[in-house]
Structure 1
Amino acid sequence: MALSAKLQIRQSQSLVMTPQLLQSIRLLQYSNTELQAFVDSQMECNPLLAQGAAAGAEGSLPVADGALRTAVGQSAAATSPGGPAPAAAAPRRAAARGPSGDGDYSIDDLADRHISLHGHAMKEVADILGGGTGRKVGEALVEHLDESGYIRVSAETVAAGLGLRTGLVEDILTRLQAEVTPAGLFARDLAECLTLQLKRLNRFDPVIGIVLKNLDLLARRDFSALRRLTGEDEAELMEILAEIRGLDPKPGHAFDHDGSEAIVPDVFVTEAADGGWRVELNPDALPRVIVDNTYLAAVRGGTLTDEDVAFLGECQQSANWLVRSLDQRARTILKVATEIVRRQDGFLTRGVGGLRPMTLMSVAEAIGMHESTVSRVTSTKYIATPRGTFEMRFFFTVAIASADGGDPHSAESVKHRIKILIDAESVGNVMSDDDIAAILKKEGIDLARRTVAKYRESLGIPSSIQRRREMNARKLAS
């Protein structure tokens, strides 16, 4: 077969993801904190971007004021963005005011009133150890504190890093443990943390020491084994358990930690005057970005080189894209949130028991979007409702078949029902996972025993054996 070269022309279509399209997709997934950081970076490198509204500006907040909210009736589908809003006022944060009551702040009001764990530990080291080598070792130990206030490094490692004897580091650590406030900081594990607190209270004795060395038995409520080890009866063990529960297992959590931030809801849901629900974007979570056309006109009125003209053209294109993308992002969030509220009206009126099964696909089909888009929109976004603030993903739960052929149940509502059943238990009436599964089946919820066990464990509820042991011990102690 002879080989020869041929020239052919073919026509085909393909979807090309431009850099701006890719970035628009990423904007959907950003949390409000990440979005604000991105907008700030864009404003730094683009002179045509400005913050806030201005005369002659192109853009908004980032959506038009009429599109900030939608209304959801009790039996009707959500209205489209831009529809009339109910007259009821939306929730707003109260403006912070200074001590004088005139809205001005003094320098004291701007100070950080909540010291971090690192800052507090450094002050304690300075007060307890003074200066010199001891303080140098103490500051090195502070650098290895975790969020709970525990030391997660050995004395040998610290000593090697400082070129000192291991015994010296251990002596300094022991002194810090004995004098630092709050008691329990610089402990190496949970047992040592509780021991330090009990010693500071003069409540440590050999019996409690044995219990602390066997915290795994205490966690399993294996009081029979603890009785054999300590020689105490169950009543005494329950007193010890009550005393241990009064201690702080994580003393470091009393302080602020770098990187912590308050949750800012992206959407507010409030009850409307007509008995439905009003879904409204949170203006505080929307970056206020505009294109400063006044500045652009002033610059173009001067003498510009070809390079300057090209640069301004790129800046204008980028700025217009950002404003449009922010507007589209806000409208998409509002659209998805409105559909969630429409489907989960039972949760808003009755609580977790009224939560209905819902999938990303079902919401995507209802609002005419792709499932991946809904997935990005619901990632790290929060809805403030009359029943609390929840991540959007909370409302998406798998369906559990009904035993009588009725409507399916959501996994979250079933978990809630399991918790209610267990909370109602009494001494001599502790239900096994099989018992719970049987009760649920009578209520129309078809759930296997292993699924009941999985849901119970996810709620942090011990097994029926452990619950029975603890109830019997409490009865003996009363």
Structure 2
Amino acid sequence: MDLKFDLNISQSQKLIMTQEMRQSIEILQLTAIELNSLIENEMLENPVLEHNEDSQKEAAPAHEETVKEEVSQKEDVRWDEYFQSMEVSEYRGQAQSSPDPDEEYGFEKFSSNAQTLSEYLHLQFGLLAQTLSEKERLAGDYLIDCIDDNGYLIVDENYIIDILGVDEELVARVIEIIQGFDPAGVGARNIVECLLIQLRQMGYDDDEVFLDIIRNQLMALAENQFKRIAQATGLSVEEVYEFKEVIKTLEPKPGREFSCFEGVSYVIPDGSIEIVDGELVVKINEAAAPRLRINNYYRSLLKNSQKNDEIRVYLEKKLDGANFLIKSIEQRRDTIKKVIEAIAQYQRNFFFEGVEELRPLTLKAVAEMVEVHESTVSRAIHGKYIQTPKGTFALKFFFKRGYAQGDEDKSSDAIKRFIKEMIGGEDKQKPLSDQKISEMLQDKNLNVARRTVAKYREALMIQPSSKRKEYH
């Protein structure tokens, strides 16, 4: 066996993911809320950073870009010379202006203390407290606390009996009291009981035939099986139809009017598109990506420290990290702005006309317009929102698959709008089938399969034709 060792030198290109590159990618993908949280944490760990609320990018001097290029060369950064050249830059320390009292204490800074469903029910129960026994008050308070945001009682009665040491009759009596509170239907244990409570409060106590429909034939009523119900109850088809119209006025979630005050999700738009003199103007929200700068005190401290001083070594390390974070945030702003500008250019008609003019758009198309990789666009739109004349949308909203319509393309949202309009204008006694809608779309030169129509109809939460049929 012939064994030998060879030493060969070869040249190859390889992409090494540095820690700085990884951090830059992560910052690009962060949402506005996550970015602000990251900035706050960095400011706690890095004392040289502070918010730069006074300066505006547009007001920066022309030579600022040259300064940034010098700073970007991390090796051998001479911070004392850098600070001298930054005397008029947006990152130089500036005296903080006194806050405007109107801005600090404006009406929009305050939020209302809205009454919750639980508080409203406890208030009503408190008005009856003097007429109830101690055990009834205890059971009532506990039961109200077991009512969810939709207004339903979500605890088993036997559990209440065991944990409070009360009898079944007392619990049933207190539940009946709560079910008489406003809003109508509150305290029910299921949808049937919720509707029955509301019907009784509307005066249907003696109409057992109607109450029986709710108890035993609610699904048939929901599916518009009027003839079947009429045969089973002895009512006419017209009476059953009219009864369903009454049911449609009831509230299946009595606590809904209170739920809007709790658990609200907030988003911070990363930018906005405005119409100015017939043109679309893109702006980046300063609150979504706040600007940072180097603190004045630490800048002067670095100037006065000795070359090998421990303070200087520490500050230079912190300044390197601060500089890279500032650059990463600025790069994030620029990338997001370019992506939004590309979307505004491509979806121009949407912002003037509406969703029917929304065109199909892919990540690849925007990547080519912005001259970046598709993965960069994907990270740039992740969790980002934009405020427009048509409302606030996630950037992902503008990326749609589509269908050819002659020389133009229509997005899936436009197809859904067509389907909704067709169903909205249909003859309720002869509702349109999915196949018929597909044929009508083909008449519009849109080749949409029946299965696709069914999928879009379900996404719109519209029942099939067999359940939309009405009888008169």
Q: The TM-score by the shorter chain falls in which range?
A: 0.7 to 0.9
- Superposed CA deviations along residues 41-84 of structure 1, whole A, max 9, x for unmatched, are 33333322323435xxxxx56x5568xxxxxxxxxxxxxxxxxx
Q: Structure 2: how far apart are the matches of 1:247 and 1:383?
A: 37
For 1:81, the equivalent position in structure 2 comes to none
Aligned counterpart, 2:67: none
Q: Does 1:30 align with 2:30?
A: yes
Alignment partner, residue 266 of structure 1: 270
CA deviations over 1:206-237 (Å, ceiling 9, x no partner): 23322323332222222223223332222222
Aligned pairs, how many? 428
User: 1:240 is aligned with what amino acid?
Assistant: F
AA in 2 matched with 1:453: A
**Which whole-Å CA distance do the structure 1 matches of 2:235 and 2:294 have between them?**
76
Tell me what 1:448 maps to.
Answer: 449
Equivalent position amino acid for 1:199 in 2: R
SS at match of 1:325: helix
Aligned to 2:188, the other structure's residue is in SS state coil
Residue 348 of structure 1 pairs with residue 351 of structure 2: yes
* Partner SS for 2:165: coil
Q: Does 1:248 align with 2:270?
A: no
Compare CA radii of gyration and give the structure with the larger one: 2
Question: In the aligned structure 2, how far is the partner of 1:18 from the partner of 1:173?
Answer: 66
Shift of 1:455: 1.3
Cα pair 2:306 2:312 within 8 Å, conserved: no
Partner of 1:53: 53
Distance 1:301 1:182, change over 3 A: farther
SS of residue in 1 equivalent to 2:150: coil
Question: SS where residue 255 of structure 2 aligns?
Answer: helix
Preserved CA contact (<8 Å) 2:226 2:241: no
Q: Which piece of structure 1 moves more, 407-416 or 141-150? A: 141-150
Per-residue deviation, 1:305: 11
Specify which of 370, 376, 400 is matched with residue 373 of structure 1. 376
Deviation per residue, 1:154-208 (Å, 9 max, x gap): 2334555x36357278436514532433232332222222222333343344233
Deviations 1:429-456 (A, max 9, x none): 5322222211211221111111112112
Secondary structure of 1:444's match? Answer: coil
Aligned residue type for 2:178: Q
Where 1:203 maps in the other structure, the secondary structure is coil
Say whether residues 1:164 and 2:169 are aligned partners. no
Aligned amino acid, residue 152 of structure 1 = I
Cα distance in 1 between the residues matched to 2:53 and 2:355:
41
* Displacement after TM superposition at 1:356 (Å): 1.0
State the match for 1:357 in structure 2: 360
Preserved CA contact (<8 Å) 1:177 1:183: no
**Deviation by residue 1:359-387 (Cα, 9 ceiling, x = unmatched):** 11211122112222222222332222222
Tell me if 1:206 matches 2:203: no
User: What CA distance in whole angstroms lies between the structure 2 residues aligned with 1:50 and 1:106?
Assistant: 25
Q: How does 1:99-178 map to 2 (within 5 A)?
A: 110=110, 112-124=112-124, 126-128=126-128, 132-159=134-161, 162=163, 164=165, 167=168, 170-171=171-172, 174-178=175-179
Structure 2 Cα separation of the partners of residues 159 and 11 of structure 1? 80
How far off is 1:37 after superposition? 2.8
- With over 3 angstroms needed to count, the CA separation of the structure-2 counterparts of 1:225 and 1:28, relative to structure 1, is farther
The 5-angstrom pairing of residues 277-296 of structure 1 reads 277-296=280-299
| Contact 1:177 1:184 (C-alpha < 8 Å) held by counterparts | no
The residue aligned with 1:387 is: 390
Q: CA distance change for structure 1 residues 163 and 238 in 2, over 3 Å: closer, same or farther? A: same
When structure 1 is superposed on structure 2, of 383-392 and 121-130 the one drifting more is 121-130
Quote the Cα distance in structure 2 between the aligned partners of 1:456 and 1:276: 35
- What corresponds to 2:431 in structure 1? 430
Query: Kindly tell me: are residues 386 and 104 of structure 1, through their superposed partners in 2, closer, same or farther at Cα, counting changes over 3 Å?
Result: closer
Please tell me whether the aligned partners of residues 403 and 447 of structure 2 are also in contact (alpha carbons under 8 angstroms): yes
Specify which of 222, 225, 230 is matched with residue 225 of structure 2: 222
Equivalent residue number for residue 418 of structure 1: 419
Question: Per the alignment, do residues 283 and 105 of structure 1 end up closer, same or farther by CA in structure 2, a change over 3 Å counting?
Answer: closer
Between 1:25-34 and 1:442-451, the stretch displaced more is 25-34
> 1:147/1:311 Cα in 2 relative to 1: closer, same or farther (>3 Å)?
farther
The alpha carbon displacement at 1:286 in A equals 3.5
1:128–1:179: 8 Å Cα contact kept in structure 2? no
Structure 2 length-normalised TM: 0.77
Q: What's 2:333 paired with?
A: 330
CA gap of 1:119–1:178, structure 2 versus 1, over 3 A, is closer
Distance 1:343 1:16 in 2: 35
- Gaps of at least 5 residues in structure 1 are 55-59, 67-97
Looking at structure 2, the residues matched to 325 and 367 of structure 1 have their Cα atoms a distance apart, in angstroms, of 18
Distance 1:366 1:263, change over 3 A: same
After superposition, the C-alpha distances for 1:113-166 in whole angstroms (9 at most, x for unaligned) are 312334444545555557955455445445544332223332334555x36357
* 1:30-109 mapped onto 2 (5 Å cutoff): 30-53=30-53, 64=58
Decide whether the 8 Å contact of 1:176 with 1:186 is kept in 2.
Answer: no
Distance 1:173 1:18 in 2: 66
Distance (whole Å) between structure 1 residues aligned to residue 271 and residue 323 of structure 2: 25
Q: TM-score, normalised by structure 1?
A: 0.76
SS class of match (1:197) = helix
| Partner Cα distance (1:20, 1:135) in 2 | 62
2:204–2:211 contact (8 Å) kept in structure 1: no
1:173–1:186 CA contact under 8 A, matched in 2: no
Q: Gaps spanning 5+ residues in structure 2: where?
A: 61-100
Tell me, in whole angstroms, the C-alpha distance in 2 between the residues paired with 1:184 and 1:105.
Answer: 41
For 2:393, the aligned partner's letter is F
Whether the 8 Å CA contact 2:438–2:448 is kept in 1: the answer is yes
